[in-house]
Amino acid sequence: MTSLCSVFVTTVSGMDGDIFRISAQVISGIGFLGAGIILVKNNSTVAGLTTAAGMWVTATIGVAFGYGFYAGGLLAAVICVVNAALLTKVEHNRLQAIRFYVEVNDIEKIQTVLEQIETILEKDVFIETIPAKSRIVGSIGFEVMNLNSNRGSYEEIKQAIGQIDGISFVVPG
């Protein structure tokens, strides 16, 4: 967006000189504020990226309107609103998902355990292999996420998964 503003001002308005110092300072200043919003929480979870990106995009849209590049600013604003609306729905679905951390202590039973987990949860199951949190040699960890939690309550699902032979423990993911 900043590059489009630069092209617009030099080609359409015919201004010469270093007129982009203001926009450069706006972008770097907002970037500095945005960096202060980004936080790393426990388990290396990053929060505030969307807010920081939103601030930066809003600043560039403001610069575009300030230079008189109304078509580009309006297009960018519409794209941002549509993008935010769609991603809000995706995030809402992700937050409603049931998550578990499952640790398997017998490598030979991994395939059977994963099949039984998929049978219990029926559909919309995502399983990711991660290092074992217990650090016990021979154990392997899995992040299990179920987007469609129609199989029962969190505790019922946790109990059913915990009874599978070969699982060391099941904890909230």
pLDDT at 2: 63
pLDDT at 61: 92
17: left (phi over 0), alpha (psi -120 to 50) or beta: left
User: Could you give the residue ranges of the DSSP H alpha helices within 67-98?
Assistant: 70-95
| Chain position carrying tokens 């110092």 | 21
State yes or no: pLDDT of 77 exceeds 90: yes
Contacts of 161 (CB under 8 A, 6+ apart): 100, 102, 117, 120, 144, 167, 170
pLDDT confidence of 90, banded at 50, 70, 90? confident
pTM over 0.95: no
Lowest mean pLDDT among 1-10, 27-36, 131-140: 1-10
pLDDT at 16: 65
pLDDT tens digits, residue range 12-54? 766 666 667 777 888 888 888 888 888 877 666 778 888 888 8
State yes or no: pLDDT of 76 exceeds 90: yes
Contacts of 128 (CB under 8 A, 6+ apart): 142, 143, 145
Apex 173 CA angle, 147 and 96, nearest 5: 30
pLDDT at 79: 94
- How far is the C-alpha of 2 from the C-alpha of 59, rounded, in Å? 10
State yes or no: pLDDT of 149 exceeds 60: no
- How far is the C-alpha of 30 from the C-alpha of 36, rounded, in Å? 10
- How far is the C-alpha of 64 from the C-alpha of 6, rounded, in Å? 9
- How far is the C-alpha of 170 from the C-alpha of 155, rounded, in Å? 11
- Percent residues over pLDDT 70 in the chain: 82
- Give the E-state strand segments of 7-138 in sequence order: 39-40, 46-47, 98-104, 125-130
Lowest mean pLDDT among 1-5, 54-58, 71-75, 106-110: 1-5
pLDDT at 44: 66
pLDDT confidence of 64, banded at 50, 70, 90? confident
Question: What angle do the packed helices 49-66 and 21-37 form, to 10 degrees?
Answer: 160
Quick check: helix, strand or coil at residue 28? helix
